[in-house]
Structure formats: C-alpha cells, structure tokens
Amino acid sequence: MIAVRNLTMRLSAGGHSVTILDDVTVEVPEKQMVAITGPSGSGKSTLLGLIAGLDKPTAGSIRLDGVEITALPENQMARYRRQKIGYIFQSFHLIPTLTALENVAVPLELNGDDHARAGAAELLAEVGLHDRQFHYPVQLSGGEQQRVAVARAFACRPPILLADEPTGNLDSAAGRQVIDLILSLHRDHGSTLVLVTHDPALATYAERIITLRDGRIASDVPATAGPRGAASGPRSPGEQP
C-alpha cells in the first residue's frame, strides 16, 4: 500500500518559491495498477520521484507498506528502494559503460546476491533479450534499452513498480512491447504499478486514472470499465475494450 498524505513540494526558482505539488493525498492499495496523467508540468514526475524516495518533500508524508520513507536517512532509503521499488525512466538511464547483463546485475549485486549474473541472464531472457546480453546500451535500439531497464527495475522482484512515461521515447511498436512487458510483470508477480503517461490509450489498461493539474489531483476515477473492467483486472493489450 502506498499512502501519500498532504504532500507538498516547493522549490525556489529565480528567487521565489514555486509550488510543484500542493497538498496531494492519495492511497494506492497493494497490487493495484493506477495511471497518472495530466499536462506537462503538472507534477507527475515530481510525485513519482517522491514516492521512490529520490527526493524529500517540503511537507507531508509517504508511507510504503507502513514505512514512513520521508523519515529515512539516504543510506537506508537507498537500500529500501533497491528491495521494494522498481523505477523505470522515460530515458532508460542505463549505465553506458556496462553491458546489458551487467546493468541488470547491478541491483542484484548490491543486494548481495551470489548469483547476480545468472539471475540477470535469466531476466534478460524473460524480456526477450537473451542474444543481447553482451551488448552495450549504445548498441541497442531504444526499445531494447527500455526492456533492459525494465529487467533491471524488476531484478529484485520489488512489490512496487513505478514507471515515468516508459514509452515516451519509443515508436509505437517498441512502446507496445515495453508496455506488454510491464503489464505482464505487474500481473504475474502481483506488484503494485504506478504508471505515469499522457497516452490515453495506455491509461485505459489501468484500473484507475488519476489526473494531476497544477500540482493538485484534478480527478481520480476508475478506468472506464469495458467487458473486463476493474473487477477482473486490466485488459490485455491485444483485447478490444
């Protein structure tokens, strides 16, 4: 369960303070898939980054499975994030000097896994990149890089997956593959999924759509329930609504 309460984020820019998130309160139950949409600049990435503990809010609290993460010192937060949170960035953020295999192995190694490379190889096979293990990011297409990033985000089987416009830098075919992958990991492993997107088609795979505007929640509604609406889980991408 993700519980965000009265979350406010202010930054100073050019000598005056700018409010980026304004008293946001929201709960996401375990295993739910929620889409966050809203215009550019509405605070989506800021909210996701705060939930991942990448930044500290000006005010308010964030509890993940009962743990108040805003109170954790950075070293504890880093460990907590590695074990509990998978984060997928729009621009992949792979380490350019490491191969695909090594990129995926990093979180496993940091967690003290003695079989990190074997585990990473398995994950790469799972995302369809068995034959790209020894390639460097620059040798991979955008879609392939993002699939490596998805494998890395999921390496430690985190209960929470956060994805910030994961298909934003991809063409529609590659984007579709990446989204299929994220949805199947969410479904097969029962992780909670918070997906930031401004693609309305993508948002319909969620059970619930939250819209941000000017740093506030403008709406929070169940996704339009088709034949397989919220009650029976998200539609699979191939299905007609």
Ligand X SMILES: Nc1ncnc2c1ncn2[C@@H]1O[C@H](COP(=O)(O)OP(=O)(O)O)[C@@H](O)[C@H]1O
Give the pairing of strands 160-164 and 192-196.
Answer: parallel
Instruction: Quote the Cα angle for 219-220-224, to 5°.
Output: 105
Least Å from the CB of residue 66 to ligand X: 26
Footprint (CB under 5 A) of Mg ion, residues 32-51: 44-45
Least Å from the CB of residue 233 to ligand X: 27
* Rounded Cα–Cα distance for residues 218 and 130 (Å): 43
- Could you say which of ligand X, Mg ion, none residue 132 binds, taking C-beta under 5 to 8 angstroms by partner kind? none
- Could you say which of Mg ion, ligand X, none residue 20 binds, taking C-beta under 5 to 8 angstroms by partner kind? ligand X
* Rounded Cα–Cα distance for residues 203 and 196 (Å): 8
Least Å from the CB of residue 43 to Mg ion: 8
Least Å from the CB of residue 164 to ligand X: 7
Residues that bind ligand X in the complex, under the rule CB under 6 A: 11, 13, 18, 20, 38, 40-46
- Could you say which of ligand X, Mg ion, none residue 193 binds, taking C-beta under 5 to 8 angstroms by partner kind? none
> 175 is written with which tokens?
């984007």
Reported as type and span, the H/E element at residue 45 is: helix 44-51
- Helix, strand, coil percent content, the chain, rounded in steps of 5: 35, 25, 35
- Could you say which of ligand X, Mg ion, none residue 138 binds, taking C-beta under 5 to 8 angstroms by partner kind? none
String of contacts with Mg ion for each residue 66-95, x by CB under 5 A: ------------------------------
Tokens 């949409």 -> residue:
37
Footprint (CB under 5 A) of Mg ion, residues 170-209: none
- Could you say which of Mg ion, ligand X, none residue 42 binds, taking C-beta under 5 to 8 angstroms by partner kind? ligand X
* Rounded Cα–Cα distance for residues 191 and 11 (Å): 32
- Could you say which of Mg ion, ligand X, none residue 41 binds, taking C-beta under 5 to 8 angstroms by partner kind? ligand X
Least Å from the CB of residue 90 to Mg ion: 7
> 23 is written with which tokens?
């008293």
Q: Closer to ligand X by CB, 40 or 240: give it.
A: 40
Least Å from the CB of residue 91 to Mg ion: 11
Q: Closer to Mg ion by CB, 83 or 169: give it.
A: 169
> 148 is written with which tokens?
């490596």
* Rounded Cα–Cα distance for residues 113 and 133 (Å): 19
3-class secondary structure per residue, 69-124: HHHCCHHHHHHHHHHHEEEECCCCCCCCCCCHHHHHHHHHHHCCCCCHHHHHHHHH
- Could you say which of ligand X, Mg ion, none residue 221 binds, taking C-beta under 5 to 8 angstroms by partner kind? none
Q: Closer to Mg ion by CB, 86 or 159: give it.
A: 86
Binding site for Mg ion (CB under 5 A): 44-45
